[in-house]
């Protein structure tokens, strides 16, 4: 890209000059150093082009949050009164003076309106600038950093500044201090080389949590039939005319193979053979169909999500990085964080699926708080539209998956040994799903769970979480944030799911399995409500922590060891391993139809 074709020299108007005269640069965000495992290798070349996102202040977000919580509470008069695209955009939009002063500042650096792009609500501004210009704009230096384990290299900084007059108007600029490894985003997928069983599988009969008989084979391998038996959903066939839909997200080269889906349908749901999902590309995301490129994560998600809910229409979003992306020797892979790209796309659609399943997660501390907070607010906006967002809780127990030497060590340079929460599962505006195993169900030992270091505990879970903490006492004191948002919220089976990959059956385990399983139950609940002329469920947590406990199967055995500890324990009521429990579709259906 030639700079002369993009950067146009503009003279400052008197108004512009007065707006910035005397406004000195002040640090907006900084970190002590690059996180452990990253090595600085040199200065970024002056002409290396950076793609940066500016998040503009959202002065009306508190109004959106208030509406979200009201419309998600079955006891509130506004329950089910979800917002339209236009109403949400109005509540996310920056103030006019924010737009004016930001545009003036961009023009002071030669960036006219033709040089930037804005999100649908105007709350995100994306600009592509050479490193030299970015260093001048943000009073910093950009360097090349290499990830020691993977060899990936990104251009980043450890601190950036903005004119002090801009601080109230710009919440963040990223990726600057973000060192998350996002290619690919770490899936919460967990491979088991042997079965994780705790009971005799030779029994002729198993009794499910609803008191019904369950095929003994379900203690060796999970299928669609097993999930329907376990969660009291046999005999329910969703409609394809109610307006209901299920969405599955995929990021950065996870491809859902059509042929594998048909093979799965032939094995698990013959009525669905010949049907398919709608594939949508966001920012250059692809869905290549070479069998050798079939993604385990993507295949798992679509086979169970769409297999359980057929004939409900399904959408598969493949999100790439912010375009255009031109690989070079300094950033050979796309380092742009895709969550905000996906949320911006979805919030600009008039009609969106009522349920969305996402099986990807990052260590919370690798995502700068400002960015995690902003993305979390975007999830709240989607919930206000009437969509239920479900995320996997992670597969590292109370730590994160990774080398034992670093899996429980924070990035702040200390040698502390602490529990490390996961994002987006730690966001209070999503429903986070843990994993169980066996019949009767116990917690799967790899299940991520704990307490956020970023987000405070929301009021809707105060009572349940406080009861657990009282029982926990001083155990692990100082290793977790007892006042943080607690997760997971619910759970479902997550071990030994039969999945077809490149034409062959495989057993797959992880909260990646549990998430589309629970999302499928939610999809069917939305179908039942829509057929009854009611609204979609939207954000689930106020209902789940309110009056839904009797419609969930409480899991009281198991734990999630990690960080050289036994981890948290499952117990009566909510716990940071299995949440409130696994679903009983029949009971939940009666509950949601009565509200």
Residues with catalytic function: 297, 301, 512
Instruction: Write the DSSP string, 186-225.
Output: PB-EE--SS----S-TT-S-EE-TTS-EE-GGGGT-B-HH
Q: In a 3-state reduction of DSSP, which class is residue 528?
A: helix
Cα–chain center distance at 113 = 31
Nearest to 377 by CA among 148, 124, 156, 157: 124
The CB density around residue 411, as the number of other CB atoms within 10 Å, is: 19
CA–CA dist 412, 444 (Å, integer):
30
Q: Are 456 and 569 in contact (CB under 8 A)?
A: no
Which residues belong to the annotated binding site? 554-555, 573, 575
Tokens of 577: 């391993």
Q: Are 393 and 447 in contact (CB under 8 A)?
A: yes
Q: Are 52 and 129 in contact (CB under 8 A)?
A: yes
DSSP letter for 324, please. Answer: P
Instruction: Write the DSSP string, 461-499.
Output: GHHHHHHHHHHHTTTTTTSS-TTEEEE--EEEE-S-EEE
Q: In a 3-state reduction of DSSP, which class is residue 283?
A: coil
Q: In a 3-state reduction of DSSP, which class is residue 291?
A: helix
CA–CA dist 525, 47 (Å, integer):
53
Give me the count of residues in the chain: 595
CA–CA dist 78, 74 (Å, integer):
8
Label residue 5 exposed, middle or buried (CB < 10 Å: 0-12, 13-18, 19+): exposed
Nearest to 359 by CA among 528, 492, 470, 175: 492
Tokens of 12: 């400052």
CA–CA dist 160, 142 (Å, integer):
10
CA–CA dist 153, 335 (Å, integer):
9
CA–CA dist 590, 595 (Å, integer):
9
CA–CA dist 548, 469 (Å, integer):
21
CA–CA dist 359, 268 (Å, integer):
22
Apex 197 CA angle, 193 and 203, nearest 5: 130
Residue that is written with structure tokens 């649908």 in the block: 120
Cα four-point dihedral sign 59, 64, 69, 75: positive
CA–CA dist 394, 385 (Å, integer):
26
CA–CA dist 582, 444 (Å, integer):
13
What phi and psi values does residue 580 have, to the nearest 5 degrees? -80, -10
Which residues belong to the annotated binding site for Ca(2+)? 554-555, 573, 575
Nearest to 82 by CA among 583, 537, 587, 552: 537
DSSP letter for 508, please. Answer: E
């Amino acid at each position: 890209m030639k700079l002369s074709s993009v950067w146009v020299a503009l003279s400052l108007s008197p108004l512009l000059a007065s707006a910035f005269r005397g406004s000195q640069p002040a640090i907006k965000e900084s970190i002590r150093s690059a996180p452990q495992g990253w090595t600085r290798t040199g200065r970024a070349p002056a002409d290396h082009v950076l793609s940066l996102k500016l998040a503009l202040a959202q002065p009306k977000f508190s109004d959106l949050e208030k509406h979200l919580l009201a419309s998600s509470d079955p006891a509130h008069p506004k329950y089910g009164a979800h917002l339209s695209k236009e109403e949400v955009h109005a509540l996310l939009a920056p103030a006019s003076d924010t737009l004016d002063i930001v545009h003036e500042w961009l023009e002071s650096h030669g960036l006219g309106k033709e040089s930037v792009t804005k999100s649908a609500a105007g709350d995100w501004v994306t600009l592509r600038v050479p490193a030299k210009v970015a260093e001048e704009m943000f009073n910093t230096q950009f360097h090349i950093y290499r990830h020691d384990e993977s060899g990936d290299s990104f251009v980043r900084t450890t601190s950036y500044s903005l004119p002090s007059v801009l601080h109230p108007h710009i919440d963040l600029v990223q990726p600057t201090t973000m060192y998350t490894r996002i290619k690919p985003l770490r899936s919460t997928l967990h491979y088991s080389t042997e079965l994780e069983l705790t009971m005799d599988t030779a029994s002729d009969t198993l009794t499910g949590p609803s008191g019904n008989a369950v095929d003994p084979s379900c203690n060796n391998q999970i299928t669609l039939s097993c999930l329907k038996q376990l969660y009291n959903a046999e005999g329910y066939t969703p409609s394809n005319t109610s307006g209901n839909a299920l969405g599955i997200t995929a990021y950065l080269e996870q491809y859902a193979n059509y042929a594998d889906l048909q093979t799965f349908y032939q094995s698990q749901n013959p009525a669905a053979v010949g049907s398919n999902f709608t594939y949508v590309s966001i920012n250059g995301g692809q869905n290549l169909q070479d069998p050798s490129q079939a993604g385990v994560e993507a295949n798992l998600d679509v086979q169970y999500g769409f297999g359980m809910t057929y004939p409900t229409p399904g959408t598969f979003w493949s999100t790439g990085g912010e375009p255009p992306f031109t690989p070079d020797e300094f950033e050979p892979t796309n380092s742009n964080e895709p969550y905000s790209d996906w949320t911006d796309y979805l919030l600009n659609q008039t009609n969106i699926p009522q349920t969305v399943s996402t099986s990807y997660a990052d260590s919370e501390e690798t995502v700068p708080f400002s960015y995690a907070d902003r993305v979390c607010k975007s999830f709240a906006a989607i919930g206000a539209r009437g969509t239920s967002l479900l995320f996997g809780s992670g597969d590292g127990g109370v730590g994160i998956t990774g080398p034992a030497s670093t899996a429980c060590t924070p990035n702040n340079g200390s040698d502390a040994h602490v529990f490390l929460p996961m994002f987006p599962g730690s966001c209070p505006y999503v429903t986070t799903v843990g994993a169980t195993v066996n019949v009767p169900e116990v917690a799967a030992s790899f299940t991520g769970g704990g307490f956020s270091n970023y987000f405070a505990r929301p009021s809707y879970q105060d009572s349940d979480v406080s009861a657990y903490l009282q029982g926990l006492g001083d155990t692990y004191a100082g290793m977790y944030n007892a006042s943080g948002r607690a997760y997971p919220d619910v759970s479902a089976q997550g071990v030994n799911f039969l999945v077809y990959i490149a034409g062959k059956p495989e057993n797959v385990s992880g909260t990646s399995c549990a998430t589309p399983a629970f999302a499928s139950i939610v999809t069917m609940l939305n179908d039942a409500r829509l057929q009854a002329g009611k609204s979609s469920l939207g954000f689930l947590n106020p209902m789940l922590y309110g009056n839904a406990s009797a419609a969930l199967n409480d899991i009281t055995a198991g734990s999630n060891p990690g960080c050289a500890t036994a981890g948290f324990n499952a117990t009566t009521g909510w716990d940071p391993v299995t949440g409130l429990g696994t679903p009983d579709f029949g009971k939940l259906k009666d509950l949601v139809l009565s509200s």
